Each structure stands twice: as structure tokens, then as C-alpha cells.
Structure 1
Amino acid sequence: MTPVSTRHSTVPGTAGLDNPLYYLENFETVVCWVRHYHSDLLTADETRQIDGLLNLDAPARALLARMVMRTGELFRVEKFNYPEIGVPVKEAVSVLAANGWVEDNPSIPLKELFRLFTLAELRAALADEISAAGLPATAAKGLLKDTLIPLHPDTAPVDLWLPDVSTQLIRLNHMALFDRLRLMFFGNLRQSWSDFVLVELGHQQYEQIPLSAESRAFDERDDVDRYLVMHRCRERLDQGEAPETLWQDIPTANENAWLESRRGRLLFELGKLAERGGNTELAFKAYRLSGHRESRLRQLRLLERLKQHHEAWKIALAATAEPRFGAEERGLERILTRLAKKLGEASPQQGERPQLTAFTLELDNPDGHSVEWAAMQHLTEPDKPVAYVENTLINGLFGLLCWPALFEPLPGAFFHPFHTGPVDLYREDFVERRQALFDDCLGTLTSDDYKTRIRDTWQRKHGIASPFVIWPILSEEMLELALACIPAQHLELMFRRLLGNLREHRSGFPDLIRFRPDHSDPNRRYEMIEVKGPGDRLQDHQTRWLEFCVDHGIPVSVCYVRWTSQ
């Protein structure tokens, strides 16, 4: 057996699927990587547990890995079918039980039986209970569950619940440790052990970033603990627990900006649920403490609904001095305009907005296609192709040109091989940390060098996951049309606006782009077109992009579609 101290690599990789124990190799890649590079964030007991795990025999480790990767913590041993582990499953279970990794025949509540056993098994084993409850022997599983669980609230081993059923039930212990290890490796609990397999199957490719001992998601154990607490709180909230009981378990604020953004989202969701449930006091508390970009507008609308107009006016005026994001500006304008009328105050001055070019199409749509598709088909001409690109084209060109900046291996940006992009992408200092790199990328727009760089990146990186490039849509034909028709100065304008607020500005682009390669004016060889169907209207983030384009001489228009049948 490979010694514990050497069973890790300098760069964590994926196991080949020709290895029948590929999942064990992937599992131990995570465990050993964290054991080696995050040992200062582990307690002595956790370290002892990991070393004990890695010193088990291979069949026991393989079965443990299988259970960790499955859903839940309770398993019927007779349902396991893992011949690749090389020994009878019960033998591996005995090793795990002897070493404290599983509990044999645990006490469980009745509700777990309904998850683990079939209706036929339950009807036979619970016949007396079913009869005593006045239910027919043929009662459906849902009815049995709803009736019997409240009548039998205690826990008991399965051999007492179902004495006539031949089964062995085990409970996986220490799942919290495995969640902690997965979190420390991936930096989130959204990614799972299956990410390794997806790479081997070719379903996903990732940019290969050099990793080192400094490539870590967490530097403090307290940060890991806080993340786990907030994750459990969000799970409880999603499962329907009352915001009032959950409130006391949410951690207090700290200096970690990334964790504070997660805490802000949690508080925002709690506030919405409290508001929906009529607890406006708790909703206000949650919104005030949340740094979420929408929390202030939500708080103001709630104040309006409660007719606390003076308080809302005071908060809204203060917010205009430092809006949290672009969309908040428009929201504040609308709220202040409404409040000014109610309070007899002067309406806030609003800047002059550019006039948008608009036109209307009346179209047939017998086959029920989307309004964008119908407009695209109508507008397309042999020498003026139209494509439905929405947010993919400009974002894609930006992602290709700025690939070196986006995937620069700065500390805290990448810490495992399965990143689709840098983890600090939406943090306030993201661009600042890479300013010289972005300046270099955008500097190529002063000559045709940018076209060479974009084409080269498209060829070399094709298929690799990126937060901005959607490969199936950004075909080579689309790429060449865009490079031929969109002037470099227009790209630079749009790219710099993107960099001003990557989270918000990456959406809101017009639906269609019409290419006109033969137009005599090089600034009019394309046009972006936002399409709106009957009853639809422009959203704020769409309006802001359209107005930006008009202000800077970028050709855009709005197409309103009416159906002839209406």
C-alpha cells in the first residue's frame, strides 16, 4: 500500500476510467491534497481520522468512498453491488464498522424506512400498525407515511421496526469531515466528487492552472467553520425552517469580504421569507445587515408598502450618494419620484437620456416560434445575415481577448483543477489586481493584433470552460463575421464597460446582431437589435446597455414585434 505521506501529487489530477477503482483514486486525491496542503486548518482529531482512513485496506477504503459519494448516510448493505472492491461487501463493512467509519444497525425514525424500503416490504412488515391505524392493507405509500409517522415518533433499530425483513442497515459516520474536506479542496460545496469523472469522460475541460501550496481557498479554520454554518443555515431555510428560529444561528459579520458576500445573500433570502411571512421587523433587520446588492431596494419598497414614507425618503436620499450597483440607480430614481409626490418634496433631477431608435414589425407566426427567432428570420438577407446572440457574442470576444488576464494564477483565484474561471471574478478588486494584464489585452485593440490574439485563443482554447465564452454559439464563422464588422474602438468601449461591473454588465446585450459587411461606413457594418414581443418591455439592464451604445455611437435599435393574428 502507498504510504500516507507520499500518496498525493503536486498537481491534483483525475484517475483514468480504465481503473476500476477510479473513484477511490479521485476520492483520495482530495483527501491527500487537503491533508498535505491544509494541515494547519485541521484539528489533531481530524488529522488522526484521515490518517486512519488512508491506512485501511483498499476494499474498505473503496466502499467508504462509494458511500461518501452517494446521497444520504443510511444504506442497505444487501443493495450494494461493487464487485471491483475485490472482497464480499459485508467483509469491507465489518472493517469499516470496527474502525468507527460506519454504525451497524443504527436506531432510526420511521420516516427513514419509507425512503429505504419498498411498499411491498413495508406493507408486510407493518401490517399490525397499518391495521391499528384503521388503514386498508392496500393503502398507498404516501398515505401510510402521512398516517403512521406521527403515530410512531420514536427511533428504533431496523430489526425492531421490520423484524421479518432480511436486511442489514448501516449509517455512515463522520460525513461532516468529508464535507469539510470537499469544501477545503473546491472552495465551495456546489462542486462534487463527480467533477473528476466529468473530466475523464470529456464532458468538461478546464484551463490548466499551475497550483502550489499557496493555492488555497481558506487560510483560517474559522473561515471554513463560518462557511459550513452558513451553508447549513441556507439548507435549513430552503427546507422550510422558520426565519425566526434560523436568525439566531447566522454568524456575525467578519472581515472576510468573500464570506461576507455569502452572509449577505443568506440574510437577503431570510429577509424575503420573513417579509413573505408577515414578520416585517425581522425582514428590516435582515435587509439592513445584508450587503446584497438588492437588499436596500427591497427595504425601501417594504417601507413604502407600510406607508413609512419619511423613513424611506431619508434612506433613499442617502443611498443615491453611493449606489451599490447600476440597477439600483434606476430603482432609487423611481422610488424617490413616487415618494416626492406623496411627501410634497421636489422630485430628484434626472439626467437627460438618449433617444433610442425603434421600429415595428408585423409578422405571421403560425408555428409558434419565439419572437427573437421570428424577427431574425424576417430580417435576414443573403448579404446581411442576422444571428441570435444575446449575451454570448460580446462576452465571448471579451473572454477570448482577455483570456491571459482572466486565468492569471494570482493568489486566491484558483486552488484546484476544476475552475471554470477565477473565484474572485465578482469581487471589487478583481480588475484592480489584474489591471496591467487587462491594459495589455485591450492595448492590442489599437492595431489588428487583437484579431490575431482572439483567433489564436479560439484555436488553442476551444472547448475549455470559461465564464465568458459559450463555445457552441461562438463558431468560427460567427467569430470571423464579428471581427470583420465590429470596429475595434466599439469593442474597446464595450469591454471597458464590462470591466466596470462584470457581474451586472455581462447581461443586457441586445438579442440579435445584423452584419452588413459591404456597408460603406466601417462603423455601420453591424447593428445590434433588441427584440420585444407584444406586452414585453425593456428591462433596466437592457436599457442601460442600449443608452450606453447610443451615447458612444454604437449602432443599436429596438424592434417591437406584433403578430398579424392579434
Structure 2
Amino acid sequence: MTPALTRHSAMPGTADLDNPLYYLENFETVVKWVREHHSDLLTSRETGLVDSLLALDQPARALVARMVMRTGDLFRLEKLNYPELGAPVVATAKALAHSGWVEDNPQLPLVEVFRLFTLAELRPGLAERISAAGLPTGAAKGLLKDTLIPLHPGSLPVHHWLPGLSSQVIRLNHMTLFDRLRLMFFGNLRQSWSDFVLVELGHQQYEQVPLSAESRAFDERDEVDRYLVMHRCRERLDEGEPPETVWQDVPPGNDNPWLEARRGRLLFELGKQAERGGNTDLALTAYQHSGHREARLRHLRLLERLKRHREAWTLAIAAGKESGVGSEEPGLERILSRLARKLGEAPPRPSPRPALTAFTIELDNPGGHPVEGLALQHLSEPHAPVAYVENTLINGLFGLLCWRALFAPVPGAFFHPFHTGPVDLHREDFVERRQALFDECLNTLISDNYKTRIRNTWHEKQGIASPFVIWPVLSEDLLNLALECIPARHLELMFRRLLDNLREHRSGFPDLIRFQPAHSDPDRRYEMIEVKGPGDRLQDHQTRWLEFCVSHGIPVSVCYVRWAGASE
């Protein structure tokens, strides 16, 4: 049965960073949260291990937490120097070995010996093996490693590898359990223990979203297992294992959209590595089954490179007819144009594109300063101040207006109290699941109520983490100027485009904004300006935002900067 979360469930707090063992408190916040709210996804053996961990004395629990946050599961005991434990590390490790949490004389492969010990320590201990391999005694560590590891594939205790060296290596057991706990808490393995335990809890404020029984990353143990398998597949690719062997272990598709998106990213990376390795058949298969946003273009380019032009043409034509192509459109148009010439076909008529307003300024830059800052100083006037905002202003206004929709307690969007935003932000059904809430927020733009809502949210939520609001940039003066000068109709247009594709459309906004509060035309009291230095050009996502603005009457322009005295 799924453990219930209620409005009255005790929410864990953040540890006092003045406490030397604050990391243990934060570490146990994760462990206890999973034990309480995800126990149905753990086996009886796993819950028993968690309970036994929490029953250890404080020094032992703190040493486990320290080792979990470090790389790997093998440690030199003399390198574990943590005086805040309140007990000697050697005695604490011995107690952990007695309770089964540590192996005190593990067998380890030679690759781990090279990781744990210095060259000065390795040379005496490996002297016979170095000599037998025909290597000079002064060989570099890299050469020793590359030569000796293939010759000695087995595992031995450290005193067999390095006889005479006074050092003890211990292994922390049950690291797979800690990975599972971390995954169920965060919903990903991208966030490390140290990121969370040492930094995030003590240095950030989080919106407190009510949690329910549905507020979990995973509902079935099989989903956790599937994620872990895919994560290991990606690690194997990164470690250099051939994509052909990794392919055999990629799980089949399923009906979980979130896990399918992750599977799509794995297949895209596998396809790229197969393509680089010359296995074009596997690359094409991986791209074809990947839902990654870049996979289709990569698939088409590979077909084109293989001179399978007709096949590529047919697929590209079909892709161009789909709605929501978005960022693929320029790439598809370029591919179709090339294929049309090779096949003698009439190229598809390109989408009509509005002309962009552009101007050029000449500046001195003896100090090599960023071009955007120099342009800002040049363009700014007392009656028309200029601010550097890039992707922060419009996103910030959107985040403040739609705060209640973004942080709505939708099942599966928040599953612990330390999220900086909804975890489903970039899933295809994100807006659909909150459509009524977003409609209510955007409907306030009909009157001046939206200004009050944005200002109130700015004051009430100051400093709370948000995926859209960058607090140090969005000052009250900038906020008030923007609300005074940007018409509600323009904000609605930009906000609705954001909602069309939050992943792609959150970037690409112009660098600068120039305010002209006294302008007689209320639609021209501001202008967004993209700055391009010498040799720089517009990126596709920037061009799409600029063209959108022009086609909807939103004032934008491109400022090209030329250095004074430079030849044409």
C-alpha cells in the first residue's frame, strides 16, 4: 500500500550550517523521507538495512554519510580525516565492519589501486610487475596503468598488490541501496548527495507545496529498476564500452512518458557513438526509436551522408507536415533544400519570414570588454534607460504572474520539500495538466490586475527558488519599469509562446531592453535589442524569437557592433 502524505505530515527542516554534523542531518533527511514515504518500493531487506543504518551510533552514521558523498566505494582509511565525528575514524570503521556496513580487507582490481595510490607509492610495490612488463623503473603513471592493468585483470587485497606499504583500504557496502534511495528522493541521479547535503538545503529557500499520496517520483518498483538500468547503460557508454553491447541491455519502451523521454536521450547518445564508430545501421535504429528532439535531424543527416536520398526526402517531407516542429524547422528546411537539388525535386516553399530591423554602431573596445555591456552604455540615455536582461525579464514576469500555476500541487510534480520547480516542467503534458490555472493567470492581463499580482508575488516570494525568476537580476526598479512600459497585450503574446514549448522558448530573448516611458505610442515605450559583435551571427532560437516579435508588432531590433578603426 502506498504510504500517505497528509497536510499534517512533518516537513523536514534544514540543518544549521554552524553544526559540524549538519551534513549528517541533511543526509538523514533524505534517508528518513524515503523510508517513510517510499517503503512500498523497497524490499524487506532494503528497509531492514535502512533501519539498521539509522540505529548506528552517531559517529558511525556520520562516517557512512561522508563516504557516500565521496567518489566510489573504496577508501584509504588514513585519508578519512573527520574530527567532527567525535570518535577515532579507525575505531568507527572497525565498528562499521562489525555491523556489515564496511568490508575491511576487500579485494580490488588494479585499476582501483592506481586510483587510490600515488606514483611514489605504486613504484616500489609494483616493481616486479613493472620489470616483468619490460617498463623502465621511471615510467610515468599513465604508461604503467595502460600497460599493467590488461596484464593483471584479477582482484587482490591491497597488501598483495603493494607489499610493505602501510595502508588500509575499506569498502563501503550497499552503495546500490544508496543510489536507489537518492533516485527515489530526487527522481533523478543527476543530483549528487554532496550537492544536496552540503549545499542546497542550507543555502536556498523553497516553495512549500502541499504534498499528497501521489507526490512521488515513482509509483512502481519496476520504474525505479528501469531508471537504474538506463542510468547504468549511459555510464557504460561514457566509460567507453561499445554501443553494440550496451544496446543489448537498453530496456524496451513502455507507457511511462517520463521514463520514455529518458530512454530517448539514452538512445540518442548511443546512436551518436555508434555513428562515430562506423556502425551506421545501429545508429539509424537508435535515432529512429529515440524521441529526443535532435534525433530526427541526426537521422536524416545520416541518411543523407549514406546517399539514401529518397528515403531521407520522404521522411523529411513527412516531418515538415507535422505541427509543433519548432526548433527543427530551420534544419529541416536546409536538409530539404539540399535533397531537392540532388533528387531534382521542387524544394518546399519556405515559410514566409518577416524582415528584421537592424542597425550598426561603431565602438571603441581597448579593454576587451563584453560587447553587450559596451552597447548598453552607448545606447542608454537619461530619458531612455537600457538594461541587460537577456532571458531573465520576460521569463521573470511570466514566473511571477503564473507562480500559482507553476507551483500547483499536481500529482508527480513535487515529491519532497526541496524542489526549485516542478519536475515535469519540460514534459509534453505540463501545460495541459494545469491549463485552467494558466488560463486564470493570463486572464488577469485583461485589466491592470496583473500588475498587482506580479508586484505582490515579487514581494511575497522574494528569494524563493523558481525556474523562471532570477532574483538578483529582477530588481524592483526593473520590474516597475517593465510593467509601466510593456503593454499587457505584448506580455500575453510572449507568455503564450513560452507555454507552447517551455523547454525551447525560455531562451533566445534579446540581450537588452530600452525603456522610453514618455513615448507617445504606448506600444513603443520599450524596445528589445539583440547585440551581435564582429563575426557573431544570430542563432536559430534567437531568430525565431525576433521573427515572432516582428510578426506580432512587438518592438525588437538587432544591433550590430563594429570596432572603431577595424577594416571592413
Give the alignment of 1:316-465 within 5 angstroms: 316-323=316-323, 325-465=325-465
1:168/1:236 CA distance change after superposition, 3 Å: same
**Alpha-carbon contact 2:358-2:559 (below 8 Å) kept:** yes
Is the 2:68–2:175 Cα contact (8 Å) retained in structure 1?
yes
Matched residues in 2 for 1:295 and 1:324: separation?
A: 15
Displacement, 1:144?
3.4
Aligned equivalents of 1:128, 1:342: Cα separation in 2: 64
Amino acid at match of 2:390: E
Q: Which residue of 2 aligns with 1:198?
A: 199
Deviation track 1:362-400 (CA, whole Å, cap 9, x = no partner) reads: 332222223322322221222211222111111111111
Instruction: Tell me the residue number matched to 1:493.
Output: 493
CA distance in 2, matches of 1:146, 1:310: 47
Partner of residue 62, structure 1: 62
Written as runs of structure 1 = structure 2, the 5 A alignment for 1:67-82 is 67-82=67-82
Query: Does the CA-based 8 Å contact 1:293-1:325 persist in structure 2?
Result: no
Secondary structure (helix, strand or coil) at the match of 1:266 reads helix
Q: Indicate the residue corresponding to 1:90 in structure 2.
A: 90
Shift of 1:199: 4.2
| Correspondence 1:99 to 2:99 | yes
278-287 or 376-385: bigger deviation = 376-385
Equivalent residue number for residue 279 of structure 2: 279
Report deviation, 1:422: 0.3
Q: TM-score, normalised by structure 1?
A: 0.94
Q: What secondary structure is seen at the aligned counterpart in 1 of 2:12?
A: coil
Structure 1 range deviating more: 439-448 or 11-20: 11-20
CA contact (8 A) 2:68 2:193 kept: no
Distance 1:31 1:139, change over 3 A: same
SS at match of 1:514: strand
The secondary structure found in structure 2 opposite 1:217 is: coil
How far off its partner does 1:503 sit? Answer: 0.9
Question: Any residues of structure 2 matched to 1:458-477 within 5 Å, and which?
Answer: 458-477=458-477
Listed as ranges, the matches of 1:118-267 within 5 Å are 118-194=118-194, 195-199=196-200, 201-202=202-203, 204-267=204-267
CA offset at residue 225 of structure 1?
A: 0.6
Q: Greater CA deviation, 421-430 or 320-329? A: 320-329
Which residue identity lines up with residue 277 of structure 2 in the other structure?
A: G
Shift in CA distance, 25/108, structure 1 to aligned 2, threshold 3 Å = same
What amino acid sits opposite 1:442 in the alignment?
L
Consecutive unaligned residues of structure 1, counting only runs of 5 or more, are 1-7
Query: Cα deviation per residue 1:144-199 (whole Å; 9 max; x = unaligned)?
Result: 33343344333211111222122221111110010001100111112233324424
> Residue in 2 aligned with 1:5?
none
Deviates more, 1:479-488 or 1:348-357: 348-357
What is the CA-CA distance between 1:451 and the residue it aligns to?
A: 1.4
Give, in whole Å, the separation in 2 of the partners of 1:241 and 1:323: 38
Conserved? CA contact 1:10–1:212, under 8 Å = no
Q: 2:542 corresponds to which letter in structure 1? A: Q
TM-superposition CA deviations, 1:518-537 (whole Å, max 9, x none)? 11111101111122233332
Aligned to 1:296: 296
Residue equivalent to 1:534: 534
Whether the aligned pair in 2 keeps the contact of 1:26 and 1:193 (CA below 8 Å) is no
2: distance between equivalents of 1:47 and 1:324?
A: 46
Residue 502 of structure 1: aligned partner? 502
Q: Could you tell me which amino acid in structure 1 is paired with residue 421 of structure 2?
A: G
In the other structure, the counterpart of 1:3 is none
CA 1:362–1:251: 2 relative to 1, 3 Å:
same
Residue 279 of structure 1: CA displacement?
Answer: 1.4
Deviations along 1:267-286, one digit per CA (max 9) or x if unpaired, are: 11111111122211111000
CA deviation after TM superposition for structure 1 residue 330, in Å = 2.5
What is the SS of the residue equivalent to 2:431?
A: helix
Paired with 2:214 and 2:84, the residues of 1 have a C-alpha distance of 36
- CA shift, 1:315, in A, is 0.6
Counterpart CA distance in 2 for 1:438 and 1:327 is 24
Percentage identity across paired residues of the two chains: 77
User: Are residues 62 and 520 of structure 1, via their aligned partners in 2, closer, same or farther at CA, if it must alter by over 3 Å?
Assistant: same
CA distance in 1, matches of 2:408, 2:179: 28
Return closer, same or farther for 1:145/1:199 CA change in 2, 3 Å cut-off.
closer
Deviations 1:83-138 (A, max 9, x none): 33333323322222222211121111222222222333223333444444455544
Residues 9 and 33 in structure 1, CA contact (< 8 A), matched pair in contact too: no
Deviation at 1:253, TM superposition (A): 0.2
| Ranges in structure 2 where 5+ consecutive residues have no aligned partner | 1-7
SS of residue matched to 2:459: helix
Shift of 1:324: 5.0
Q: What is the alpha-carbon distance in structure 2 between the residues aligned to residue 276 and residue 537 of structure 1?
A: 29
Separation in structure 2 between the aligned mates of residue 505 and residue 215 of structure 1, nearest angstrom: 28
| Conserved? CA contact 2:230–2:266, under 8 Å | yes
Distance 1:146 1:275, change over 3 A: closer
Give the secondary structure class of the aligned counterpart of 2:527. Answer: strand
Q: Deviations over 1:305-324 (max 9, x none)?
A: 22211101111111122255
Secondary structure of the residue aligned to 2:492 is helix
Task: Give 2:456's aligned amino acid.
Answer: D
**Structure 1: distance between partners of 2:67 and 2:423:** 29
- Matched position secondary structure for 1:75: strand
For residue 561 of structure 1, what is the amino acid of its counterpart?
A: V
Displacement of 1:486:
0.8
State the AA in 2 paired with 1:281.
D
Matched, 1:50 2:50: yes
Gap change, CA 1:198 and 1:9, over 3 Å in 2:
farther
Aligned-pair distance for 1:561? 2.1
CA distance in 2 between partners of 1:562 and 1:415 (Å): 51
- For residues 462 and 354 of structure 1, the distance between their equivalents in structure 2, rounded to whole angstroms, comes to 39
**Counterpart-to-counterpart distance in 2, 1:402 and 1:271:** 38
Q: Which amino acid aligns with 2:109?
A: P
3-state SS of 1:430 partner: coil
**Could you tell me how far apart the structure 1 residues matched to 2:98 and 2:115 are?**
27
Q: Distance in 2 between matches of 1:422 and 1:96?
A: 38
How far apart, in 2, do the equivalents of 1:261 and 1:434 lie? Answer: 20
Residue of structure 1 in register with 2:17 after alignment: 17
Q: Distance in 2 between matches of 1:539 and 1:130?
A: 54
- 1:548 corresponds to 2:548: yes
**2-side partners of 1:210 and 1:344: how far apart?**
61
Report if the CA contact (8 A) 2:354-2:547 is conserved: yes
Q: Residues 348 and 33 of structure 1: is their aligned pair in 2 closer, same or farther, counting only changes over 3 Å?
A: same
- Indicate the RMSD between aligned Cα atoms, in angstroms: 2.0
- Is the CA contact (8 Å cut-off) linking 2:201 and 2:418 kept in structure 1? no
For residues 236 and 103 of structure 1, what CA distance do their matches in structure 2 show?
A: 26
Q: Is the 8 A contact 1:60 1:96 kept in 2?
A: yes
Residue 189 of structure 1 aligns with an amino acid whose one-letter code is L
Distance 1:45 1:57, change over 3 A: same
The one-letter code matched in structure 1 to 2:267 is: L
- Aligned partner of residue 165 in structure 1, secondary structure: coil
- Counterpart Cα distance in 1 of 2:305 and 2:135: 49
Aligned mates of 2:149, 2:490 — CA distance in 1: 65
Q: CA deviation at 1:403?
A: 0.9
Residue 522 of structure 2 is aligned to residue 522 of structure 1: yes
Structure 2 CA distance, aligned partners of 1:534 and 1:429? 41
Give the conservation status (yes or no) of the 8 Å contact 1:207–1:419: yes
